[in-house]
Chain A
Amino acid sequence: MLPDAVEHHHPALAHQFDSLAQQREAAALGMWVFLVTEVLFFGGLFATYAVYRWWYPDAFAAASHELDILLGGTNTAVLITSSLTMALAVHSAQLGRRRLLLLFLIATMALGCVFLGIKGVEYYHKFVEHHVPGPGFEFEAAYARQAQIFFSLYFIMTGLHAVHMIIGIGIMLAMFWMSWRGRITADYYNPIEVSGLYWHFVDIVWIFLFPLLYLIGRHA
């Protein structure tokens, strides 16, 4: 076998790897490649958005005015804060500070839940205002048709983003459990690190969604 046979007995080392370093590099690369697929997954939506915003700027502005900047802005702040707590969780894991790690994971999950709660309130408003696309859709006559495209995009983009948040919170729960059981150590923290990459990515998606959906033509 290879020189670093010393590490062979580490309980977290999977059989196909020769060393923990190789395993960590593979996990990180795997997550980065996965995030690239996510970029292109949302990319299809951004392309759709670009086409219709180019075609119907006025309808998009009018429809965008129906969204609540305060709620959207608050959610942006909440997510950025959750990214900070996530980064600090990884930091704590690197240093092997288990209690701090658990604390930051809880904070990240809590902020994620706050985000989803606010999102739920916004969805509820849209539902009450008949801004959900489909037969019941109502909007000022001039933009009644094209505003449906905006709201279709709004719901699918924020909806898929919310699905990613829910998955992220699920991952954080798993990370919490692993850390609770003491399986995360300063030698072996790549599950936390890799989950963190995912969480930050979901944050980045929102960083683009916020101005593209909430802030169109606000000066008018």
Chain B
Amino acid sequence: MQTTVAALPPRHYLNDGFGIRSWLFTRDHKRIALLYLATITLFFFIGGAMAVLIRLELATPAGDLVTDETYNKLFTMHGVMMVFFFLIPSIPATLGNFLVPLMIGAKDLAFPKLNLLSWYIFVVGGLFTLYALISGGVDTGWTFYTPFSTISSTSKVVPTALGVFITGFSSILTGLNFIVTIHRMRAPGMTWFRMPLFLWSIYATSLIMVLGTPVIAITILLVAAERLFHFGFFDPAVGGDPVLFQHLFWFYSHPAVYIMVLPSMGVVSEVVAAFCRKPVFGYRIVAFASVAIAVLGFLVWAHHMFVAGISVYAAMIFSVLSMLVAIPSAVKVFNWTATMYRGSISWQTPMLYAMGFIGLFTIGGLTGVFLATLAVNVHVTDTYFIVAHFHYIMVGGALMGYLGGLHYWWPKISGRLYPEFLAKLSAGIIFLGFNLTFFPQFVAGYLGMPRRYHAYPPDFQVLNVLSSAGASILGVGYLIPMAYLMWSLRYGRAAGSNPFGAVGLEWMTTSPPPTENFATTPVVAWDAYDYKGEVEGRVA
């Protein structure tokens, strides 16, 4: 610390007040981002611990490590923790919170108190869910399907559901804050089509948060009312339709997948441009593709329900609509690739993650098209094919983007550099471990191994052992960044304001930025990714 402290700016948001109160009552979007970062990291490792136990259990065909009931609770809590408490807030609440005002040249979000409130709501929701976990767990699967969740299950459905319900409001408030901020707080000259693509994807994500989350909130409330007061909404005993729950649930929970992956796409756009030193190919198309994914994402939910007894005619409509999502997704992949073409690519850590994202997201996305096809869907529903597919999107896609973004902006957040060699090494380990974990699951699922069982026929053992071995590599891959990022907070070399030579307003202020972000409000006179401008000296 003594050797490097001189290079950090004398006054920045991290030394603007010390002590626990300066954090718990902060209204600075950058500090709130770090509060979120700490919280979701905790939830990530809790959810990860569940995954470790699941993979340990599945290393052998016999159900020998945990009972079937415990196994049900493990995969439920793994899903609930990872989906609602890690992936959905991951990029928006941390990098989004940190970067949205910086990227548009604002002093803060439009509603800083609301931003802090949304973190508190998140924590309260998390505590509810942790209480449910400690007091006995919940065994419905993260999807809370009725009538099992309303009538049969004897586990802690209501506390878990209330935790998710409460957390939903945190998500809504964050989305609302971003939408208003992006509309109303842009610096002079920062027009919509000069905004970094990360902001377009955050904006599209916020639309989903605002439009989708309320529906799952009310759905969870209906489940709770049915469980607690014996109201009848989905109960077949009074003529209710359990499938209606699935409609309402997936109206949010399918678009929620895009809440997870769209921000990662935004990160990839930033990273690819910065490390190829070129503007993103077809900027406007990529920007509109984000919004298109957000909108189309709301029209496809029933592809989760093809075998649930819905109308075959409705299923056909949903099948076709689902395939449409592939168009804007593919546009993005092609445009990133086109950006790299003849770029001067430097293979630093964030770029490695971005490359990982592009490859893994493509696999996840293409298998999604298989699943949207009615006949194939019937064959692989509720098998490990599905498990592999959504982990390729959520872990291979969303988490890779998150880690890439975390590395890319880490010098900005902390003011210090992470050790490049270790970072590259762990990026490689994660990529390897991830594929070894989840690719065999495609095969197992295609061969018919059903999901959500703690025992399986011995025929599947080789694939499962591969998967469990991959998971242990993956786990190591996640621990290394955790360690060196913490280390770098104290011992990392000072980064300077722009260690990657990237363009964008966030790189024009100090690292770490001052509390008010910019000494004077910037005036923007150039497009995003103006890497030619760098040569002409327009950018610091």
- Residues on B facing A (Cβ under 8 Å): 106-112, 172, 176-177, 179-181, 183-185, 188, 210-215, 217-219, 221-222, 225-226, 229-233, 237-241, 244, 247-248, 251, 520-521
Contacts and interface: CB of A to CB of B under 8 A. Distances in A.
Interface stretch (A35-43, A65-73, A111-119, A204-212): A35-43
11 contacts: A17-B110, A26-B184, A33-B210, A41-B215, A47-B244, A51-B241, A133-B230, A134-B229, A149-B232, A152-B231, A152-B233
B238 A43 contact: no
Contacts of B188: 2
A149 B215 contact: no
A15 interface: yes
Given A37-B172, A145-B239, A26 B210 contact: no
Contacts of A156: 221-222, 225, 231, 233
Most buried by A among B106, B183, B213, B230: B230
Contacts of B247: 47
A170 interface: no
Nearest to B225: A156
A2 B214 CA distance: 38
A159 to B, nearest CB: 9
A44 B219 contact: yes
Contact of A16 (B112, B210, B230): B112
Contacts of B219: 44
A149 B185 contact: no
A155 interface: yes
A55 B248 contact: no
Contact of A30 (B180, B238, B244): B180
Contact of B213 (A17, A37, A39): A37
Contacts of B179: 29, 33
Contact of A33 (B108, B180, B251, B520): B180
A84 interface: no
B233 A34 contact: no
B106 A149 contact: no
Contacts of A2: 188, 521
Nearest to A156: B225
A220 interface: no
A76 to B, nearest CB: 23
Nearest to A22: B184
Nearest to B244: A51
Contact of B110 (A26, A52, A149, A153): A26
Contact of A44 (B111, B184, B215, B237): B215
A129 interface: no
Contacts of B222: 44, 48, 156
A44 B110 contact: no
Nearest to A3: B188
A16 B180 contact: no
A38 B215 CA distance: 9
Nearest to B237: A145
A43 to B, nearest CB: 7
B238 A148 contact: yes
Nearest to B245: A48
Given A30-B176, A146-B239, A156-B225, A40 B214 contact: yes
A134 B231 contact: yes
A16 B185 contact: yes
B219 to A, nearest CB: 6
A145 B230 CA distance: 13
A16 B108 contact: yes
B176 A37 contact: yes
Nearest to B520: A1
